[in-house]
């Protein structure tokens, strides 16, 4: 059995905070793998199901960030889940925005949610740390994590969340380095079948309109390429 934990704060005002990226990832995992409907259990919202024939529990603690460990302790004791099979998704200011790092054990690096978990179950569990960037001024740290993602950040967060969810099977096989590498370097992956058709179309349109580009009719070139795509 494996346990996924997404850290965040349960207040509606915190829903889109940077600090709540863990909640967003759990929601996305639930949807992608058709886990059960969320139920209030163990001081959190709990779902369960199977991913690649492995029994999975996923929880969003409702204890607020600083007491996350209480919910996790109750759950793993009840289901007898080894701490080594716990994966915690959380924000990290010491990582560049939109990048992730995965580690097993180690310090909390000052993250209150992780400190709480360490206190209740020890440090021998895996953490998926999602970079939210660091404010330039130290006095802005608290506000930074509790602020909503900016409009230009939301698309990147959606993208990184999708990449994490897509690669969950690699994570549960505990191939940590491969998981991190693929999530962070997803742009190097092959196009899927639908993308290949789209790329072929846009390439053909670009080639067909090269004369307009040579004549430096930039606006006309862009307009025609995109217009042709919209008509496909």
**Helical (H) or strand (E) element with 94:** none
DSSP 38: P
Per-block mean pLDDT, blocks of 10 residues, the chain (232 long): 95 87 95 94 96 95 93 96 96 89 89 94 94 78 79 88 93 91 72 78 89 89 79 50
Choosing from 19, 90, 111, 144, the catalytic residue is 19
> Residue 183 in contact with residue 191, Cβ under 8 Å?
no
- For residue 17, give the DSSP letter: B
Q: Which domains does the chain have, with CATH numbers?
A: 2-188 (3.40.50.1470), 193-230 (no CATH)
144 is catalytic: no
pLDDT at 18: 86
Distance, in Å, from the CA atom of 182 to the CA atom of 177, rounded to the nearest integer, reads 9
pLDDT the model gives residue 84:
95
Helices (H), the chain: 21-32, 68-79, 112-121, 141-146, 151-166, 168-172, 176-184, 193-208, 210-214, 218-230
CB 114 within 8 A of CB 86: no
Taking the complete model, does pTM exceed 0.75, yes or no? yes
Paired tokens of 195: 């993308």
């Amino acid at each position: 059995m494996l346990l996924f934990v997404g850290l965040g704060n349960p207040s509606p005002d915190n829903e889109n905070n940077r600090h709540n990226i863990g909640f967003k990832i759990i929601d996305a995992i639930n949807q992608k793998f058709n886990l059960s409907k969320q139920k209030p259990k163990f001081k959190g919202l709990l779902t369960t199901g199977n991913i690649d024939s492995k029994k999975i529990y996923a929880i969003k603690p409702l204890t607020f960030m600083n007491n996350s460990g209480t919910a996790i302790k109750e759950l793993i004791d009840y289901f007898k889940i080894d701490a080594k099979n716990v994966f915690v998704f959380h924000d990290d200011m010491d990582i560049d925005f939109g990048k992730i790092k995965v580690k097993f054990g180690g310090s909390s690096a000052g993250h209150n949610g992780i400190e709480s978990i360490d206190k209740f179950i020890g440090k021998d569990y895996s953490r998926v740390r999602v970079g939210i960037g660091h404010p330039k001024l130290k006095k802005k740290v608290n506000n930074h994590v509790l602020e909503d993602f900016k409009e230009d950040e939301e698309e990147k967060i959606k993208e990184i969340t999708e990449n994490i969810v897509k690669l969950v099977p690699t994570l549960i096989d505990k191939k940590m380095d491969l998981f991190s590498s693929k999530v962070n370097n997803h742009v190097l992956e092959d196009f899927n079948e639908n993308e290949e058709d789209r790329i072929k179309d846009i390439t053909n349109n670009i080639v067909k309109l090269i004369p307009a580009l040579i004549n430096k009719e930039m606006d006309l070139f862009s307009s025609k390429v995109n217009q042709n795509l919209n008509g496909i």
